[in-house]
Amino acid sequence: MAIQIALGTTTVDFPLLSLSHSPFSALFLLHCAALFLPVPMAPSASCGGGRGRSPLLGCLLVVVSLLCLRAMVCRAQEPGQLQPLEVATYNYTSFQEGNSKEQRELAFSREARIYKGAIQVSPDTANVGSYQDIMVNKSGSVLLQRRFTMWSHVDVDGGGGGNGSATSRVQVVSFNSTFSINVFHLPDSSPRPGEGLTFVVAPSRDEPPPGSYGGYLGLTNATLESSPAARARNRFVAVEFDTTKQDYDPSDNHVGLNVGSVVSVKTANLTAFRIATNSSSPKNYTAWVEYDGEARHVSVYIGVRGEPKPASPVLDSPLDLSEHVPEQAYVGFTASTGTDFELNCILDWTLSIEVIPEKKSTTWVVIVAVVVPVTVVAVGVAAFFLARKLRARRSMERRQERLEQQLSNLPGMPRGFAYDKLKKATRNFDERLRLGKGGYGMVYKGVLPADEARPEAMDVAVKRFIRDDGKDVTDFLQEVDIINRLRHKNIVPLIGWCYKKGQLLLVYEFMPNGSLDQHLFRRGVHEQRWPVLSWARRYAIVGDVAAGLHYVHHEYTRMVLHRDVKASNVLLDASFRARLGDFGLARVLDDDREAFTDLHVAGTRGFIAPEYSVGHKASRETDVFAFGALVLEVVTGQLALRAGDTRCPLLSDWVWQMHGRGALLGAVDQSLDADEFDHDEAGRLLLLALACSSPNPGDRPTMPQVLQVLSKAAPPPEVPPFKPQFVWPPEGGAQFQLSDIEVTTSGTGGTSTGGDGVLTRATQSMSTSYDSFQPQTAPNSSDGYFPALSSGR
């Protein structure tokens, strides 16, 4: 495109590089018109007066305008090029306590601080006697307060020769991070260093996830590493400096690139570069992490502090941050210690990072008139959904009123919590605080702040029901009605409840040591590792569970059948005292009844008494059978279903075989040496468990008899060397009437009719145990369940 301008008798063409597509075109044309429109001028002695403008002045103004406009257009329309970005620089030559700049610019987690001129990402202390209390199993983080835009979609000109075509590209920032570290450990206090330090691009400034100590480096925990799908949701990238060798690590002295997981996608052994971050000598190192956003590539250099940057990186790898971190993220450090510990110190830090400016819309919004038929349809659709929403709201309000009325009629009505308060306590039900998932919903850890009723903050477990229907309200009331009545030191206490906008929540006391099965059946790298339970604790746990079960069977005013006694429903408080939890399948019996009969079976395979499986009749004896299976798991350290032995899949059958061969104590957990357990107590528990596991309910002891055996006030029961045969019907016959059968919600499954017309219904536990049971998966483990309040369905 060109504009012709007449200067006197000469016509000049000015090319404008597709000026018609420039936003400045109209402004330029108006300016030219203003320059050359004839306007009156004062008479001049030199030119004799007249009308017009000075041609020379007009020409100069036009040329200057053309040059400026051409430069702007060329710069804006350079084909395929991204605009250069400004660079923000943060420089910390040292760190001093009380420095207002550092306190203002850095966000410290609870365990991190500035101490002795350095950032202690994990705790440090000068008190030698406090090492074990302060430095073991900790994690921390230090991040810049500022949130950076790490990548953004940018529209650039496609170079279409002036046709105005544009393409969208992802612009990723580049950054250089240089920092000096000290990961020194004291050989006298910790024989090995542990665990490591990372430079991280993190999605938030939140505290490190619970349980992120040890090999999780303050980045993740067992839940967030539990599966490929869970790891895919972890939106972080980190460069780790690891000093402890895990199963997935190449050595205890390496650098690794972590993308959403502590299992590195690429590693480099530092020993080959004559660098020893795991040394007991206090040598400091400087690391350079350089990321090229245009090339999508990261390079890591490391050398002794004070020496020049090495010529070659110890690790380099392609890396597209836009695929692994959110658009806006935070930059900083995380670290952790385990049973072995070290100093995780940042001595100095310099960060230079490109800054993507905030997007500003320059597009005019064009409002298109809507024709009458479209308007009518839109109004009709809106009216339909509005009416539907109002009906749902009225139904929800009626349900809430009915629920509050029913709860108010409960004896000792539990405390009602505001939904917003529980939402804040769980950080809006943050997935990183999710402790487990069961048949009725999910359970999250929360922290209730201090208030008038409670002078100190309190850790709680919030059970969130996931279904929103009338049946869910019935299940909710069932659990509240039962657990709220029970007052015993070996029963998990209910703190309160909440119901708002269809959200049903129960608040329980938090059990910091998780569930019993986590300690009995320790997992691999992606599970939290617990030490082996001592014999004294095992015996005490069995006694606690027996006391709780005796309470609900005999001491409470009405008989309560738990119907789901198993290791994942036994919870351990701070002092490892056991408490019986999850009464979602429990039933309260009237005084004139001794059993509860349902149309389906509730529970978990391996813990279900044979007469209950056949006759669907739950009683005290069926709970005692499940208690016996639990005791066998505690003593042997094996699952009630032995997946590795197809000839003897039930643990009770195997122990009975050991008893028949006269080698009963050979069934004791192999992780306990012969001198680490009381042989008399072990024999007592095994004989008691076998008696409780008898196929015939009449041969099982009652809970009062169980307590006498456990307290050693009575000898252990006499058990035949061979397992008796199951007899059906039991002694006295199967005496129940049709009126005894109740169609209740003891599980989470729906009711369905099979192809043969037979009504079938199964709880989630039964579905897991029978329909989809896989030998590789423990049916009564708490994998995926809340560690301090397993759901059990």
CB atoms within 10 A of CB 325: 22
Helix (H, G, I), strand (E, B), or coil: what is residue 90?
A: strand
Give dist(CA 565, CA 624) in Å, integer. 9
112 pLDDT higher than 80: yes
- Per the CB < 8 A criterion, the answer to whether 667 and 686 are in contact is yes
How far is residue 212 from each of residues 443, 563, 672, measured CA to CA in Å? 19, 35, 28
Q: Which two tokens stand for residue 629?
A: 């299976």
Q: What is the dihedral of CA 235, 238, 243, 244, to 10 degrees?
A: 20
Give dist(CA 515, CA 569) in Å, integer. 7
The chain-wide mean pLDDT, for the chain, equals 78
What pLDDT does residue 620 have?
Answer: 93
Axis crossing angle, helix 620-636 with helix 651-660, rounded to the nearest 10 = 70
Helix (H), strand (E) at residue 271: none
What pLDDT does residue 188 have?
Answer: 67
67 pLDDT tier (thresholds 50, 70, 90)? very low
Instruction: Look at 231 and 712; give whichever has higher pLDDT.
Output: 712
Largest CA distance in the chain: 137
Closest CA to 519 of 540, 548, 492, 491: 540
What pLDDT does residue 731 have?
Answer: 65
**Percent of the chain scored above 90 by pLDDT?**
43
- Per the CB < 8 A criterion, the answer to whether 562 and 622 are in contact is no
756 pLDDT tier (thresholds 50, 70, 90)? very low
Give dist(CA 491, CA 582) in Å, integer. 9
Closest CA to 515 of 572, 434, 444, 446: 572
How do strand 458-465 and strand 315-318 relate by DSSP bridges?
Answer: unpaired
- Per the CB < 8 A criterion, the answer to whether 668 and 683 are in contact is no
How far is residue 349 from each of residues 346, 456, 787, measured CA to CA in Å? 7, 38, 39
649 pLDDT higher than 60: yes
HSE-CB for 148 with a 13 A CA cutoff: 27
Question: How far, in whole angstroms, is CA 553 from its chain's centroid?
Answer: 37
Closest CA to 287 of 253, 265, 313, 268: 313
What pLDDT does residue 781 have?
Answer: 34
Residues flagged as binding site for ATP = 463
Q: Which two tokens stand for residue 89?
A: 């620089």
Give dist(CA 532, CA 524) in Å, integer. 14
Separate counts of helices (H) and strands (E) for the chain: 16, 35
Q: What are phi and psi of 90, to 5 degrees?
A: -120, 130
Sign, CA dihedral 521-525-528-532, equals: positive
Residues flagged as binding site = 463
Give dist(CA 640, CA 626) in Å, integer. 10
Kindly report which listed range (145-159, 191-205, 254-268, 312-326) carries the lowest average pLDDT score: 145-159
DSSP-derived letter for residue 677 is S
What pLDDT digit, counting tens, does each position of 728-748 carry? 877 644 444 434 444 443 433
What pLDDT digit, counting tens, does each position of 476-487 carry? 677 677 777 788
Q: What are phi and psi of 694, to 5 degrees?
A: -60, 135
509 pLDDT higher than 80: yes
Choice among 242, 475, 517, 564 that is catalytic: 564
What pLDDT does residue 57 have?
Answer: 45
Report the amino acid identity of residue 410: L
783 pLDDT higher than 70: no
Nearest 5°: the CA angle 633, 561, 412 is 120
What pLDDT digit, counting tens, does each position of 127-174 carry? 666 677 788 899 999 999 999 999 998 877 655 444 555 678 899 999
What pLDDT digit, counting tens, does each position of 712-729 carry? 999 999 999 999 988 887
Give dist(CA 561, CA 658) in Å, integer. 31
What pLDDT digit, counting tens, does each position of 280-328 carry? 777 899 999 999 999 999 999 999 999 999 999 999 999 999 999 999 9
Radius of gyration of the chain (CA): 36
Helix (H, G, I), strand (E, B), or coil: what is residue 42?
A: coil
What pLDDT does residue 8 have?
Answer: 44
What pLDDT does residue 486 have?
Answer: 85
600 pLDDT tier (thresholds 50, 70, 90)? confident
Q: Which residues face 256 on adjacent strands?
A: 240, 267
Kindly report which listed range (428-437, 542-551, 675-684) carries the lowest average pLDDT score: 428-437
Kindly report which listed range (120-129, 245-254, 688-697) carries the lowest average pLDDT score: 120-129
Give dist(CA 493, CA 506) in Å, integer. 11
Cβ neighbors of 347 (< 8 A, separation 6 or more) are: 94, 95, 117, 118, 179, 180, 181, 182, 284, 305
Closest CA to 285 of 391, 416, 183: 183
Give dist(CA 211, CA 200) in Å, integer. 18
How far is residue 151 from each of residues 75, 213, 326, 327, 356, measured CA to CA in Å? 22, 30, 8, 5, 8
695 pLDDT tier (thresholds 50, 70, 90)? very high
Give dist(CA 261, CA 231) in Å, integer. 6
Instruction: Look at 194 and 199; give whichever has higher pLDDT.
Output: 199
Helix (H), strand (E) at residue 506: strand 503-509
Give dist(CA 14, CA 66) in Å, integer. 8
**Percent of the chain scored above 70 by pLDDT?**
72
Nearest 5°: the CA angle 69, 72, 77 is 120
CB atoms within 10 A of CB 624: 25
588 pLDDT higher than 60: yes
Give dist(CA 756, CA 750) in Å, integer. 17
Q: Known catalytic residue: 564?
A: yes
What pLDDT does residue 342 have?
Answer: 85
Give dist(CA 765, CA 775) in Å, integer. 15
- Per the CB < 8 A criterion, the answer to whether 616 and 601 are in contact is yes
184 pLDDT higher than 90: no
What pLDDT digit, counting tens, does each position of 370-405 carry? 577 778 788 889 989 988 888 877 776 776 666 666
Helix (H, G, I), strand (E, B), or coil: what is residue 228?
A: helix
560 pLDDT higher than 50: yes
- Per the CB < 8 A criterion, the answer to whether 462 and 390 are in contact is no
What pLDDT does residue 273 have?
Answer: 87
767 pLDDT higher than 70: no
List, as own/partner pairs, every contact residues 271-275 make where C-beta atoms lie below 8 angstroms and the sequence separation is at least 24, other chains included. 273/302, 273/310, 273/314, 275/302, 275/303, 275/304, 275/314
What pLDDT does residue 357 have?
Answer: 85
What pLDDT does residue 192 have?
Answer: 79
What pLDDT does residue 775 have?
Answer: 32
Mean pLDDT value of segment 68-96: 71
Q: Which residues face 287 on adjacent strands?
A: 179, 302
